[in-house]
Amino acid sequence: MAKYVPDELETKLEQDARKKFNFEIQPVWEEGKAYEETKTESLIHATFGNASAFFEILTEGEVDHVVDYVKVKQPDEEEEKKETKSKEDVLVKVYKSTKADSFFIIPEDDISDKYAKVISRIILSWLKPARIFLFDSMYKTAYASFDYIGDANILKFAKTSTVTDDLSKHGAEPIEVTNGISGLNGSLLTHSEIHRIPCLYLVSIIDSYEYTLETFGSYKGALSLVPAVKSHISKISDLAKRSSYKPTLKKYNQKKHNIYN
């Protein structure tokens, strides 16, 4: 396991945060794979929940596992006296599509800001995407402009200044408030703006706590917006034909909302 060593670009604030919370982020590569700078057409991050369930089903059997990023929390002084071992938790998994020139970041759970900045920096130190796509979802009552939305599942977007596409023809509407973009989405969006990488944040505003084919349907516009998605399915209803469809929905609904218990 290769240990992450902060480079000169990591800010003092980020270094202090790692020391304060007593953690390291370490990569665990698939056998035969190792660090090397890799250019790719697109990098897609699917936020844990509706988005990651969507992509887990979408990419069934059509991706290669590349690397896991693991949080290693060192024992504190009291734990060291008890000879407690360091704790390791997989935070995100990175996959390479076998159908398109794309990589996917799939989190195992919600990723807080203190881990997101370090993870995004490590991934983008070796992976050099031409475009970045960020998928998210939000329950309608959590959205600031609830009265404006209505009840339908819709797709909202935010983008970096280098994205010039007319997104309205894909059924996406501009997001009114961007202060809810956090975690890996916030880190990757900020990095993209600074380094002038075209980056598109797509958030589905859903009206159900339960993830279903209907909540996935709010990503319909992504079929034309994101070539890598179109490479895996031609229409949203194709997801229901995948063998992982029901098990994946059950897993995410249980973990995120305690549904089906």
Q: What is the pTM of this model?
A: 0.85
Cα–Cα distance for residue pair 26/49, rounded to 1 Å? 24
Per-residue tokens: 84: 């407690």
Whether residue 93 contacts residue 68, with contact meaning beta carbons closer than 8 Å, is answered with yes
Cα–Cα distance for residue pair 92/200, rounded to 1 Å? 20
Cα–Cα distance for residue pair 24/91, rounded to 1 Å? 12
Residues 65-121: pLDDT tens digits?
Answer: 999 988 887 555 555 555 555 567 899 999 999 999 999 999 998 898 888 988 998
Name the residue among 203, 237, 206 with its Cα closest to residue 47: 203
Assign 102 to helix, strand or coil. strand
**Domain boundaries of the chain, sorted by first residue:** 12-257
**Cβ-Cβ contacts under 8 Å for 60 (sequence gap 6 or more):** 242, 243, 244
Full strand arrangement of the beta sheet holding 127-139: 23-29, 63-73, 87-97, 102-107, 38-46, 127-139, 199-206, 154-159, 172-174
The pLDDT score that the predictor gives to residue 21 is 61
Name the residue among 137, 150, 171 with its Cα closest to residue 45: 137
Assign 245 to helix, strand or coil. helix
pLDDT along the chain (261 residues), means of 10: 45 61 78 79 95 96 93 62 62 95 94 87 92 91 57 81 86 80 93 95 87 91 90 94 95 76 43
Assign 146 to helix, strand or coil. helix
Strands 127-139 and 199-206, bridge-based pairing: parallel
The CATH classification number of 12-257 equals 3.40.50.10900
Whether residue 258 contacts residue 210, with contact meaning beta carbons closer than 8 Å, is answered with no
